[in-house]
Chain A
Amino acid sequence: MIENKKFNTSYNYAFIDETTKKEIRRKLLKAVCIPGYQVPYSSPEMPIARGWGTGGLHVTLAIIGQSDVLKMIDQGSDASVNACNLRDFVHMTTDCATTFDTREATIIQTRHRITEEKLSDKQIMVFQVPQPEPLRRVERYEYKTRQMHAESDYAKMWLTLYEAYVKWGDVMQGAGYPVMVNGRYIMSPSPIPRWDVPNLNNSECLYLFGAGREKRLYAVPPHTKVEPLEFEDVKFHVEDFSNVKCESTGYNVAYMDEMYQDDGVTKKFYVNDSNFLDKLIEKEEVVQHSNKYIKKIKDALQ
């Protein structure tokens, strides 16, 4: 128990009561059993507003133990206000250790990025998800999207990709590119950039997704096949950084931030993942995720 000094009452360990945590864990087990399937859950009230990471927080708090080491990132950064506050909150209610170091962490809660550094089978990554339903853009009714998932009725989803290709000559969707999980469910990977999408495939670690406002949990277990939707002749591709370089390190085989300078015209690029950037600057040895897209870029560099 952690004392709350202000109201002189005690919070339960990890803020949420045990019964509710148990419920969330049970739903997570179900999610792991049916990769990509959205499991409805209670989504209890939290001391932050829905839409600000409550889903991720629910998952983290439901699974965290005192021996866990938490890393909290927001769009690749450990230091953003959001990441700091959420990290402080979890730390306050659990007394767990926290870290910036990706390798050290056992639980990494994230908003809109997967770490550049490869994750191991000892690690769990928790995503904050604003909109868990990948079909929402093509079908506004929940009862219909559920039916579409149940029947693998995904032609409309494919059709939006076709229409995008017809209109713009490419499938333009940048964040949250839809993926097919285990050959069965189309899943929204949360608004991660395309760069990260291939890293969901056949991973060592467990990926858990929590959408607090929409009250849905889902998961990608280790070694699950996750494929971005692509046509036989119009292929998925990741962002192209071949013409830019990180200002601090000169590196460019990573997802890059584009920073406008004070003059409002010139822009500089930096590696987005702050811990990865630190390690590059310190010239530490880092093992990056490997996937066919990164491999191709690295091959081209040699």
Chain B
Amino acid sequence: MHFNNHNSTHEWVLKVENLTKIYGEHTENTLANTGPSKGTNICPETGSIVACANISFELFPGEVLGIVGESGSGKSTIVKQLFFDLDVTMGSALLRPFKNGEVNIFEESNQKKRFMRNHLMGMVYQNPRDGLNFAFTSGGNIAEKLLMADLFHVGKIRERAAELLDKTEVPVARMDDLPAYFSGGMQQRVQISKAIANNPPLLFLDEVTSGLDVSVQARVLDLIRGLQHELGIAMIVVSHDLSVIRMLTDRTLVLKNGRIVERGLTDQILQDPQHEYTQLLVSSLL
């Protein structure tokens, strides 16, 4: 077989085009007035804030894509839009497992979006309180995701929850405890369990280790790598921490003022950064 006309567009699991999020009123000049070349993401004419603009990328099955940049660069905005936590201003995203990737998922009904969230995506937030309901037990939090996918068998739900907690190294005996009684690292593990409960083909990780101390951080990263290896989930890892990016990702997007300033293989971004901002970022690495 010859792959000389190898066309990679047939393989992506997620294809994002021109994803843009602007807060406040904006004019046609807003995008031109902002961005890394202007050093700001606030439009001087209208005062609107460009959280991210013209973000385009493809994610392949089993691939781990890193998004790196300083606070306020628009990293989280991207995944939050893809997970439907935020509305988009402009742009499209195609998701292969949904209608064979032929429709812009942002234009689908709320019900369809919820289906995608429950069946095709998982999200792990920086703050476990965003991803977990602290009024419910840790097992219950996982159960919620399974109930969303119409599993109405308590025995099977508990079996699956136990399996997931075991996989994420949370003592199964604590399944019926409230996450409020857990340590930060353990809460994060429960959140990961919940996110992967329905075997989604796509997982978003938003600064998952930022609030944790180093040894706990290492274990959570370990866990994510192990899960990636075992389940082959495509992931988008958002982090300001280059070591997290180095450890987890294959490719990386570098963001500044809401725009992609550089993209490439992660080892290339870290060892041969091209953009001035990336060079600064990498040289600041401890």
Q: How far is the CB of A190 from chain B (nearest CB, A)?
A: 25
Given contacts A165-B154, A231-B153, A234-B154, contact A153 B140 (CB under 8 A): no
Stretch of B93-101, B141-149, B207-215, B223-231 at the chain-chain interface: B141-149
Of the candidates B110, B114, B140, the one whose C-beta lies within 8 Å of that of A159 is: B140
User: Complex: how many Å from CA A233 to CA B154?
Assistant: 6
Residues of A contacting B145 in the complex (Cβ-Cβ under 8 angstroms): 155
Q: How far is the CB of A128 from chain B (nearest CB, A)?
A: 30
B110 in contact with A147 (CB, 8 Å): yes
User: Complex: how many Å from CA A158 to CA B145?
Assistant: 11
Q: Return the CB mask of B31-75 against A: 1 if under 8 Å, else 0.
A: 000000000000000000000000000000000000000000000
Q: How far is the CB of A170 from chain B (nearest CB, A)?
A: 11
Q: How far is the CB of A139 from chain B (nearest CB, A)?
A: 11
User: Complex: how many Å from CA A252 to CA B250?
Assistant: 70
A159 in contact with B136 (CB, 8 Å): yes
B110 in contact with A231 (CB, 8 Å): no
State the interface size on chain A (CB cutoff 8 A): 18
User: Complex: how many Å from CA A233 to CA B157?
Assistant: 11
User: Complex: how many Å from CA A147 to CA B110?
Assistant: 9
B140 in contact with A166 (CB, 8 Å): yes
Given contacts A151-B111, A231-B153, contact A156 B144 (CB under 8 A): yes
Q: How far is the CB of A235 from chain B (nearest CB, A)?
A: 10
Query: In chain B between 77 and 128, which residues have their CB closer than 8 angstroms to a CB of chain A?
Result: 110-111, 114
Q: Judge if B185 is at the interface, Cβ distance under 8 Å.
A: no
Q: Judge if B137 is at the interface, Cβ distance under 8 Å.
A: yes
Q: How far is the CB of A2 from chain B (nearest CB, A)?
A: 50
B139 in contact with A155 (CB, 8 Å): no
Q: Judge if A232 is at the interface, Cβ distance under 8 Å.
A: yes
Q: Return the CB mask of B141-165 against A: 1 if under 8 Å, else 0.
A: 0011101100011111100000000
Residues of A contacting B144 in the complex (Cβ-Cβ under 8 angstroms): 155-156, 159
Q: How far is the CB of B152 from chain A (nearest CB, A)?
A: 5
Residues of A contacting B157 in the complex (Cβ-Cβ under 8 angstroms): 162
11 residue pairs of the A-B complex, CB under 8 angstroms, read A147-B110, A151-B111, A152-B111, A153-B148, A155-B145, A155-B147, A155-B148, A159-B136, A159-B144, A162-B140, A163-B136
Residues of A within 8 A of B (CB): 147, 150-153, 155-156, 158-159, 162-163, 165-167, 231-234
Other A-B contacts than A231-B153, A233-B155, 16 sampled, CB-CB below 8 A, are: A147-B110, A151-B110, A151-B111, A151-B114, A153-B114, A153-B148, A155-B147, A156-B144, A159-B140, A162-B147, A166-B176, A167-B176, A231-B152, A232-B152, A232-B153, A233-B156
